[in-house]
Amino acid sequence: GAQGPAPTEQAAKKPVSVGLVIDIGGRGDHSFNDAALRGLELYAAGKKFEGGRYVDASPDEVRKTLPPHLASVASSIQPLAVKPIILQSKAMEDYAPNLQLLVDQGVELAIGNGYLLANAVRQAAQENPKSRFLLIDSQVLDAQGKVLKLPNVRTVLFKEQEGSFLVGALAGLVTKSGKVGFVGGIQVPLIQRFEVGYRAGVKTTNPQAAQTLAAVYTGSFNNMAAGKQVAQDLIAKGADVLFHAAGADGMGVIQAVKEARAAGKTVYAIGVDSDQFHVAPEVVLTSMMKHTDLAIYQATKDLVEGKFDAGEQVLGLKENGVGMAEVRLDFPGKAEALQKVETLRKRVIAGEIQVPAVPADLASFQAAAP
For 40-88, the pLDDT digits (tens) are 999 999 999 999 999 999 999 999 999 888 989 999 999 999 999 999 9
Q: β-pairing, 82-88 with 268-273?
A: unpaired
Domain match, 239 and 114 both? no
The CATH number of residue 140's host domain is 3.40.50.2300
In whole angstroms, give the CA distance from residue 123 to residue 118. Answer: 9
Instruction: Find the mean pLDDT for residues 94-117.
Output: 97
Number of independent structural domains in the chain? 2
Q: Which domain holds residue 230?
A: 160-289+332-361
> Backbone dihedral region of 311: left (phi > 0), alpha (psi from -120 to 50 degrees) or beta?
left
Assess whether pLDDT exceeds 60 at residue 4.
no
- Domain membership of residue 344 (yes or no) is yes
Assess whether pLDDT exceeds 90 at residue 1.
no
In Å, how far are 130, 156, 158 from 114, measured between CA atoms?
A: 22, 10, 12
Domain match, 170 and 138 both? no
In whole angstroms, give the CA distance from residue 107 to residue 83. Answer: 9
Q: What percent of the chain has pLDDT over 90?
A: 86
pLDDT range class, residue 168, cuts 50, 70, 90: very high
Asked if 101 contacts 20 with a C-beta cutoff of 8 angstroms, the reply is no
Give the least confident one: 99-108, 258-267, 359-368: 359-368
- Domain membership of residue 324 (yes or no) is no
pLDDT in tens, 277-318: 999 999 999 999 999 999 999 999 999 999 999 999 999 999
Partners of 268 in the β-ladder: 241
Q: What is the pLDDT of residue 30?
A: 87
Instruction: Find the mean pLDDT for residues 113-126.
Output: 96
Asked if 140 contacts 122 with a C-beta cutoff of 8 angstroms, the reply is yes
- Domain membership of residue 368 (yes or no) is no
Domain match, 14 and 127 both? yes
Instruction: Find the mean pLDDT for residues 145-168.
Output: 98
b/e sequence 246-263, b meaning 16+ C-beta within 10 Å:
bbbbbbbbbbbbbbbbee
Helix ranges (DSSP H) in 183-333: 189-205, 207-212, 224-236, 249-262, 292-304
In whole angstroms, give the CA distance from residue 168 to residue 173. Answer: 9
Domain match, 233 and 213 both? yes
- Domain membership of residue 320 (yes or no) is no
Instruction: Find the mean pLDDT for residues 241-247.
Output: 97
Q: What is the pLDDT of residue 67?
A: 87
Domain match, 17 and 123 both? yes
Give residue 167's identity as a one-letter amino acid code: V
- Domain membership of residue 50 (yes or no) is yes
Domain match, 231 and 300 both? no
- Domain membership of residue 1 (yes or no) is no
Domain match, 121 and 169 both? no
